[in-house]
């Protein structure tokens, strides 16, 4: 009896190992040769469904091993843990050289945490004195980001309160805050794209990395984002707070609420806040695929997932591909998002 049980356990382990290495082989055989790009024009139909889905995902890139994810056509990377200008520049160049389609490369240079603290200091947003200083900071940050190889910054924070991080929000009365937002956006976007966050507001009252939160959205919260849009911001990041009031997410996090995302102009890049934060993840305890389906169907264009590696990304993309084919994910929304992302990368799309 014991020998039989041991045999079964060993057989299961062997089968798991065979399945694992078979999947690794399949990942290594993933190719981007099918993607047709001529004179900066991408033929959208040349991308497989799985490659289109991959273009909608941003992964953490500080682990050099994740360069392999470009074989899956992952479209964007996030960096904030290098310790020198050279490390950032070399790593970004290696990623771009390994990718058939140009990558969006982003960070959070947003007013408190400074990913470049080892070689460049910036003041907290709460300490920015006036519009002139806000413009200059935005310009300096944009110049640095562009020099290093970044093209996207998840800033500015377009909110009145920061009870968690202690400095992301600009200070002053409403008019002063609006003026600083406008000036910062102008300075930043001389060199890289900006993204106002965390729509629709009040995303920093509780720490959504650690817990769920519900907030009452007021007219003045939405007005700050309208002001960002009026001043040509490139994108809007939607937060994970459940909201009601001037806008209602119907009991769901804003990031998976079609009601919330439909209020963002279709011309803008709509970005989800990082999906492994408790404010969203705790609503999806039984699977990430359902979360992704809701994110895509609600209208998110770019999904931030910093826990993905080569194996988990392959598994996720295979599952999402099945969900599209089964009608659980709207393929038209996938195509629309990929078109928007490719155009932001400087391509024509046919």
- Assign 5 a pLDDT band (cuts: 50, 70, 90): low
In a domain, 21, yes or no: no
Report pLDDT for 8: 63
CA proximity to 71, closest of 105, 88, 91, 48: 48
- Assign 1 a pLDDT band (cuts: 50, 70, 90): low
Tell me the average pLDDT across 253-268: 98
Number of H helices, E strands in the chain: 11, 13
21, two tokens: 């290495």
The yes-or-no verdict on residue 92 having pLDDT over 60 is: yes
Lowest-confidence region among 8-22, 51-65, 263-277: 8-22
Domain coverage including residue 216: 37-349
The yes-or-no verdict on residue 170 having pLDDT over 70 is: yes
Tell me the average pLDDT across 64-75: 96
Structurally, the chain folds into a number of domains equal to: 1
The CATH number for 218's domain is: 3.20.20.300
Report pLDDT digits (tens) over 144-157: 999 999 999 999 99
Tell me the average pLDDT across 281-296: 95
Report pLDDT for 11: 60
Would you say 156 and 110 are in contact if contact means Cβ atoms under 8 Å apart?
Answer: yes
Lowest-confidence region among 5-9, 61-65, 309-313: 5-9
In a domain, 174, yes or no: yes
| The model's pTM | 0.91
In a domain, 4, yes or no: no
In a domain, 13, yes or no: no
**Sheet order of strands, 303-304 included:** 269-272, 235-238, 193-199, 152-153, 104-107, 76-78, 57-60, 303-304
138, two tokens: 């935005």
In a domain, 17, yes or no: no
In a domain, 11, yes or no: no
In a domain, 102, yes or no: yes
In a domain, 280, yes or no: yes
Would you say 110 and 139 are in contact if contact means Cβ atoms under 8 Å apart?
Answer: no
């Amino acid at each position: 009896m014991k020998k039989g049980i041991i045999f079964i356990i060993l057989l299961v382990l062997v089968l798991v190992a065979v399945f694992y290495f078979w999947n690794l082989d399949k990942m290594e055989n993933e190719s981007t040769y099918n993607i047709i790009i001529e004179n900066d024009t991408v033929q959208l139909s040349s991308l497989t469904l799985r490659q289109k889905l991959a273009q909608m995902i941003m992964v953490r890139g500080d682990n050099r091993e994740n360069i392999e994810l470009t074989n899956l056509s992952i479209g964007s990377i996030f960096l904030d843990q290098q310790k020198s200008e050279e490390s950032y520049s070399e790593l970004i160049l290696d990623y771009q050289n390994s990718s058939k389609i140009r990558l969006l490369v982003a960070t959070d240079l947003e007013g408190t945490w400074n990913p470049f603290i080892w070689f460049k200091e910036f003041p907290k947003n709460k300490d920015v004195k006036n519009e002139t200083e806000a413009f200059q900071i935005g310009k300096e940050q944009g110049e640095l980001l562009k020099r290093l190889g970044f093209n996207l910054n998840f800033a500015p924070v377009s909110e009145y309160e920061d009870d968690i991080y202690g400095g992301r929000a600009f200070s002053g009365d409403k008019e002063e805050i609006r003026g600083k937002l406008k000036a910062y956006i102008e300075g930043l976007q001389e060199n890289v794209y900006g993204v106002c966050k965390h729509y629709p507001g009040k995303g920093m009252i509780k720490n959504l990395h650690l817990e769920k939160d519900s907030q009452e959205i007021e007219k003045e919260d939405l007005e700050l984002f309208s002001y960002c849009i009026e001043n040509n911001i490139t994108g809007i990041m939607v937060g994970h707070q459940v909201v009601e009031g001037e806008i209602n997410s119907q009991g769901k996090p804003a990031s998976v609420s079609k009601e919330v995302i439909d209020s963002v102009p279709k011309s803008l890049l709509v970005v989800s806040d990082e999906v492994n934060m408790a404010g969203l993840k705790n609503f999806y305890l039984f699977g990430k695929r359902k979360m992704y389906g809701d994110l895509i169907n609600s209208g998110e264009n770019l999904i931030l997932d910093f826990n993905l590696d080569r194996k988990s990304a392959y598994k996720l993309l295979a599952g999402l591909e099945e969900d599209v084919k089964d009608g659980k994910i709207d393929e038209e929304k996938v195509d629309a998002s990929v078109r928007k992302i490719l155009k932001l990368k400087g391509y024509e799309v046919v």
